[in-house]
Amino acid sequence: MAFKIEKEEYINKTFRLNKKLVEEMEKVADSKNISLNKLVVLCVEYALENLDTKEDE
C-alpha cells in the first residue's frame, strides 16, 4: 500500500468584522506567531465544538 497525503479542500469567503475586533485578533496572532487566518480558523472551530445545541428555553 502506497503512502498517500490527502490534500484538504479550501474555499474563500469574505466576512465583515468590527475594526476593534480585527485589531485585537491581529495582536493575538502576532503574539502567538500565527497568521490571522489561522487564528480565525481556530476560533471558529473552538466555537463550533463548544456550541450549546440545546434549544433555548
Q: Please tell me the distance from the alpha carbon of residue 13 to that of residue 57, in angstroms, as a whole number.
A: 33
pLDDT at 54: 82
Q: What are phi and psi of 32, to 5 degrees?
A: -95, 0
What is the C-alpha to C-alpha distance for residues 39 and 46, in angstroms, rounded to an integer? Answer: 10
Each residue of 5-56: pLDDT tens digit? Answer: 999 999 999 999 999 999 999 999 999 999 999 999 999 999 999 999 887 6
Residue 57 pLDDT > 60: no
The structure's pTM equals 0.78
